[in-house]
């Protein structure tokens, strides 16, 4: 009969922590003689003395210190096993929290979330709509499982998987002098009032960088966190906007024109991000695999 079961190993940890058999027995809700006998039996089985009992306090021997270190590893491995197995079962009933900017939600949900949920109908999704910088922070601190952003901070420790590769297009009123020109150069917009996404949105930062590279600082007339409001402002002739092609395909206002951009074309590449330093759950891994299959071979990082 072996005395080295998981419960008895936790008893050894308690004695090592409290350095007293009587106090340890009280904490473990057992008698002191019973605990002492169990520890003696384990020492005999291992063939070493784990505790020095010669002083007022029980102290670990060298062999005891080595054993306690390994016991911590063993119990952590067992705990990880339970978490992993629980993870598998929770794919049927668990929750996956995803952060994404509002401009992305109308693209991401029908393309990925809806078909994935058909495969796992009891898996719940929680969508958190924030700007890209807020989403990155939420992923890093573990408040959400995954995020969808344009260009994450490469030094922040994110795992990434490419999701969509598109471009930004010019959205302007049909009576605008540039409305009949296609494509339009970015430099042609240097004197135009811009309708921008609010601060904290990745697409705004992307547009500002492109304008600076083209040699001008854009005049920002109005800001919004909602793409449809930006389109309405274009229809009201309040300015021009640069929006993702996926959003432009949803525009039905007859007073609005959508034109491609050139010199330079402005890429809009979305990636799914997760915290590489945190545990990647089974549900997350399955979802990321589904994103990869849906998006094609985009060259994302391995997740397991």
Q: According to the model, what pLDDT value does residue 302 have?
A: 39
Residue pair 170/251 in contact (Cβ under 8 Å)? The answer is no
199: exposed, middle or buried (Cβ count in 10 Å: 0-12, 13-18, 19+): exposed
Confidence of residue 163 (pLDDT cuts 50, 70, 90): confident
pLDDT band, residue 298 (cuts 50/70/90): very low
Could you give the CA distance from residue 216 to residue 18 in angstroms, rounded to a whole number? 68
pLDDT score of 260: 92
Of 201, 205, 207, 247, give the one whose Cα is nearest residue 224. Answer: 201
Whether residue 127 has pLDDT greater than 60: yes
Nearest to 246, CA basis, from 102, 70, 42, 32: 102
Q: Is the pLDDT of residue 203 over 90?
A: no
The residue-averaged pLDDT of 2-6 equals 80
The angle formed by the CA atoms of residues 27, 31 and 36, to the nearest 5 degrees, is 95
pLDDT at 296 over 80: no
Q: Could you tell me the two tokens for 213? A: 């590279």
Instruction: Return all residues near 78 (Cβ < 8 A) that are at least 6 apart.
Output: 6
Q: Mean pLDDT check: name the lowest of 39-48, 84-93, 134-143, 149-158.
A: 84-93
Of 104 and 252, the structure prediction assigns the larger pLDDT to 252
Residue with tokens 């409001």: 229
- Mean pLDDT over 184-208 rounds to 91
pLDDT beyond 50 at 151: yes
Q: Where does residue 252 rank: exposed (0-12), middle (13-18), buried (19+ CB within 10 A)?
A: exposed
Rounded mean pLDDT, 150-154:
74
If DSSP codes are grouped into helix, strand and coil, which group holds residue 160? strand
- pLDDT tens column, 261-284: 988 888 888 889 999 988 888 889
Is residue 26 pLDDT above 60, yes or no?
yes
Tell me the Ramachandran region of residue 102: left when phi exceeds 0, alpha when psi lies from -120 to 50, beta otherwise: alpha
pTM here is 0.61
**What integer is the mean pLDDT of 249-257?**
92
Give the pLDDT band of residue 3 (cuts 50, 70, 90). Answer: low
- Report whether pLDDT(299) > 60: no
Q: Which pair of structure tokens corresponds to residue 125?
A: 């999704």
Query: Which domains does the chain show, CATH number per domain?
Result: 6-90 (1.10.10.10), 95-163+270-295 (3.40.190.10), 164-268 (3.40.190.290)
Give per-residue pLDDT as tens, 61-114.
Answer: 999 999 999 999 999 899 888 877 777 776 666 789 999 887 777 777 777 888
Can you tell me the distance from the alpha carbon of 104 to that of 250, in angstroms, rounded to the nearest whole number? 12
pLDDT (0 to 100) of residue 304: 35
Mean pLDDT of the chain: 88
């Amino acid at each position: 009969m072996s005395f080295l079961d998981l419960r008895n190993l936790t008893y050894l940890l308690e004695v090592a922590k409290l350095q007293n058999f009587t106090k340890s027995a009280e904490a473990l809700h057992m008698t002191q003689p019973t605990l002492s006998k169990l520890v003696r039996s384990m020492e005999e089985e291992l063939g070493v003395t784990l505790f020095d009992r010669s002083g007022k306090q029980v102290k670990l021997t060298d062999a005891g210190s080595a054993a306690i270190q390994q016991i911590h590893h063993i119990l952590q491995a067992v705990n990880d096993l339970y978490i992993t197995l629980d993870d598998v079962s929770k794919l049927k009933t668990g929750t996956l929290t995803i952060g994404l900017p509002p401009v992305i939600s109308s693209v991401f949900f029908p393309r990925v979330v809806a078909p994935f949920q058909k495969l796992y109908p009891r898996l719940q999704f929680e969508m958190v709509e924030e700007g890209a910088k807020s989403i990155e922070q939420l992923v890093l601190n573990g408040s959400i499982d995954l995020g969808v952003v344009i260009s994450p901070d490469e030094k922040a420790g994110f795992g990434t998987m490419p999701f969509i590769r598109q471009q930004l297009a010019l959205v302007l009123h049909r009576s605008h002098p540039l409305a009949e020109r296609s494509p339009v150069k970015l430099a042609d917009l240097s004197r135009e009032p811009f309708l921008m996404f609010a601060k904290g949105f990745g697409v705004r930062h992307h547009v500002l960088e492109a304008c600076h590279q083209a040699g001008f600082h854009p005049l920002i007339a109005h800001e919004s966190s909602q793409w449809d409001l930006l389109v309405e402002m274009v229809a009201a002739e309040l300015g021009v906007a640069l929006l993702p092609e996926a959003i432009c395909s949803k525009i039905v206002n007859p007073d609005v024109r959508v034109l491609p951009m050139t010199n330079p074309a402005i890429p809009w590449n979305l990636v799914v991000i997760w915290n590489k330093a945190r545990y990647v759950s089974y549900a997350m891994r399955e979802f990321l695999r589904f994103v990869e299959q849906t998006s094609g071979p985009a060259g994302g990082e391995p997740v397991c």
